Chain A
Amino acid sequence: EAQVTQNPRYLITVTGKKLTVTCSQNMNHEYMSWYRQDPGLGLRQIYYSMNVEVTDKGDVPEGYKVSRKEKRNFPLILESPSPNQTSLYFCASSLSGTVSTDTQYFGPGTRLTVL
């Protein structure tokens, strides 16, 4: 089954404790991205990757890191999480970087709470 998986689905952590949210897709997609969803703000892009070893900032990259060492994986790293990073996070992938025409496949979301 074609899918994007994220782990964990739920995470409660404390300020400053490094964490990684994993994202994996099994569709051989070149393009992957991370969004965060906050009430009243919709979804905002954090980082995206056009291919292996190619990443770029989205609209709200501060406090986040990503890497793309393998085509299928695109982990989101919070080196020192803060309470303002409490949010719902989505990973998405598509065949190419043209989101206008390529179907975006979204993961199930990760609910992160930073205390």
Chain B
Amino acid sequence: AQTVTQSQPEMSVQEAETVTLSCTYDTSENNYYLFWYKQPPSRQMILVIRQEAYKQQNATENRFSVNFQKAAKSFSLKISDSQLGDTAMYFCAFTSEIQGAQKLVFGQGTRLTINP
């Protein structure tokens, strides 16, 4: 079974700093997809970024970028120029074609606090 591990339960940085959240996963499949979701205090789940495993280029969305290391099964999220509004719980998630891509497997989450 696929598993997703986020080893940092909590992180805290100063506003405008860069922060990197870690995520590792375990799968024997070759074709899969990885995601980072943001959950602010409002509890709404917001898709931050998506990466397809067959694409070598790392995905970027404005201040958010990933470092996808397929061989190491690592998928970290970098937030540049962090803002107070980035304060949230961040979840790494995985899905694959073989399991019908019908569910997301989530990590435990990392609670990120941006301090003024």
Q: Which of A75-115 contact B (CB under 8 A)?
A: 88, 90, 92, 97-101, 103-104, 106, 108-109
Q: Are B108 and A40 in contact (CB under 8 A)?
A: yes
Q: Are B104 and A104 in contact (CB under 8 A)?
A: yes
Cβ contacts under 8 Å, A109 to chain B: 43-44
CB distance from A67 to the nearest CB of B (A): 18
Q: Are A97 and B91 in contact (CB under 8 A)?
A: no
B30-67 CB contact bits vs A (8 Å, 1 = yes)?
00110000000011110100001000000000000000
Q: How far is the CA of A44 from the CA of B101 in the complex (A)?
A: 15
Q: Are A100 and B95 in contact (CB under 8 A)?
A: yes
Q: Which of A19-77 contact B (CB under 8 A)?
A: 31, 33, 35, 40-45, 48, 50, 56, 58-59
Q: Are B107 and A97 in contact (CB under 8 A)?
A: no
Cβ contacts under 8 Å, B9 to chain A: 40
Cβ contacts under 8 Å, B102 to chain A: 31, 33, 48, 50, 56, 97-99
